[in-house]
Structure 1
Amino acid sequence: MNIVLMGYMGSGKSLVGRDLAAKIKLNYLDLDDFIENQEKKSIRKIFDDKGEIYFRKKESLYLKEVLETYKNTIISLGGGTPCFAGNLQTIANNENAKSIYLQTSLDELTKRLFAERDKRPLISHITTSDELKDFVRKHLFERSFYYNQADYKVITDQKSEDQISKEIKAFLF
């Protein structure tokens, strides 16, 4: 079985994915890292050089490849992955994949992301917490339709990656 983690940036997909993989002895794969390795450039550079449409097409192809070739793997998606190119349907149609939405509140996301905005190209230009909150609110409104179609949902606010991993493990096994 593959476990696919989805949610907005800052929801903990990478941290939880690594922690959960270690706890249940599965492999771990970050889809953005996989894309960067395959394309031999950063996600930011791909966007800058070829644009979002090119990136989303490649993201969809690589997601299909990962789901078809990797087994017993925790897969962390990019925040937008489930929202484009039929990717959510690709995950849902894969009988060996279970999807989990790491749901994080607007306030919690704003707090987490404001502290690390310099490391995230999408929000590095934002200078105030209120501006970031508005930015995240808009994206959550657009993306929650997709995220909420996951097989399972885990609320991450005020929980450590260990607590979230244990919660996921409890309903999967």
Structure 2
Amino acid sequence: MKIVLVGYMGSGKTTIGKLLAKELEISFLDLDEVIEEGLGDTISNIFIGKGEIFFRKKEHEYLNDVLSQKNNFILSTGGGTPCYSGNMETMLALADYVFYLKISIPGLVKRLIKEKDHRPLIKNIDDGDLPEFIGKHLFERNNYYLKANHIIECDDKVPETLVTEIQQLLG
């Protein structure tokens, strides 16, 4: 079984993915970590040194490689992964399930404001401007996210509840 989690940064893809993998007793993979390991550098350094176009090409290659494996796994993607290089179509074609972890803008702001220092994309954005930034970004990305097989509403739910919801959809 191949399960892919998509959603905006801070939506809980890694947290939910790890818990779900433990419950299902299958591997958890984080696409950003796979890319960093493969290229021997951090995502931030790759963006700075080689640019976003290079990164997006590599992201597409690694996504294809991971999804072409025969193993059972849960894959957490980067927030932008579904929006480039036909990646969402690739996920839908090669994975058994694609789940969109959907959170409201206020919910994302509440989570991300605490993590700004560890999030290069929003590190230098004033707290007051964060809702507008996230709103604009979500508007641009939402059409890709909404192509997922299942949409999981995540606001005001603990991770364990979300894992249970996903397990019920797996049958």
Q: TM-score, normalised by structure 1?
A: 0.97
Structural mapping, 1:1-173, within 5 Å: 1-94=1-94, 96-128=95-127, 130-173=128-171
Give unmatched runs, 5+ long, in structure 2: none
What is the CA–CA distance in structure 1 between the aligned matches of 2:93 and 2:18, rounded to whole Å?
25
What is the CA–CA distance in structure 1 between the aligned matches of 2:116 and 2:96, rounded to whole Å?
31
Percent sequence identity over aligned pairs: 46
Alpha-carbon displacement from aligned partner over 1:90-134 (angstroms, at most 9, x marks no partner): 11121x431000000000001100111011011000122x30111
Give unmatched runs, 5+ long, in structure 1: none
What is the CA–CA distance in structure 1 between the aligned matches of 2:10 and 2:71, rounded to whole Å?
26
Shift of 1:69: 1.4
What is the CA–CA distance in structure 2 between the aligned matches of 1:2 and 1:111, rounded to whole Å?
31
SS where residue 54 of structure 1 aligns? helix
Aligned residues: 171
Shift of 1:77: 0.3
Change in Cα spacing, 1:123 to 1:70, as seen in structure 2 (3 Å) is farther
Q: CA RMSD in A?
A: 0.8
